[in-house]
Amino acid sequence: MEFHRNRPTTRRPEGGRVLDAPFVLIDTHSVEDILNAEREREKRDKFGYTVFKSADLAIVLIQLQKGGRICPGETNGTLVFQPLKGKIEISIQEQKLWLEPNQLLTVTPNLFCEVVALQDSEFYLFNAMSWK
């Protein structure tokens, strides 16, 4: 298997990293430090950093400011939300759930899903792509 790396950008020239390989060790504290040092995040209500991406799984650390929203639409795979800080509201179909640190939520494919930050929040989103 080949190692797949992202391409550093002019905004984050030191951001080159392995995204997919036979194994990838992720230092979550370093990822949080990188995200917290990002100047662009202060200009947006949402910001994400992909820590792993393969053909069937993506792992993204997401920060949402209070009121920030992501992924209004149908899920394209199984999603797992793992909050680290704050509180988020997740609407699935017509049901609302509230997640805080030390909770984990899974959502199956093909459901309408929307996330809103009720407080400044940080969470991992795992997306296991549908093979259908």
Two structure tokens written together for 100:
């805080």
Tell me the CA distances in angstroms from 73 to 43, 69, 95, 111, one per residue in order.
24, 11, 14, 8
Most confident of 15-19, 20-24, 25-29, 62-66: 62-66
Q: Which domains does the chain have, with CATH numbers?
A: 15-129 (2.60.120.10)
Residue 44 DSSP symbol = S
Predicted confidence (pLDDT) per residue in 46-100, tens digit: 888 888 888 899 999 999 999 999 988 888 889 999 999 999 999 999 899 999 9
What pTM was computed for the model?
0.83
Cβ(75)–Cβ(111) below 8 Å = yes
Predicted confidence (pLDDT) per residue in 93-112, tens digit: 989 999 999 999 999 999 99
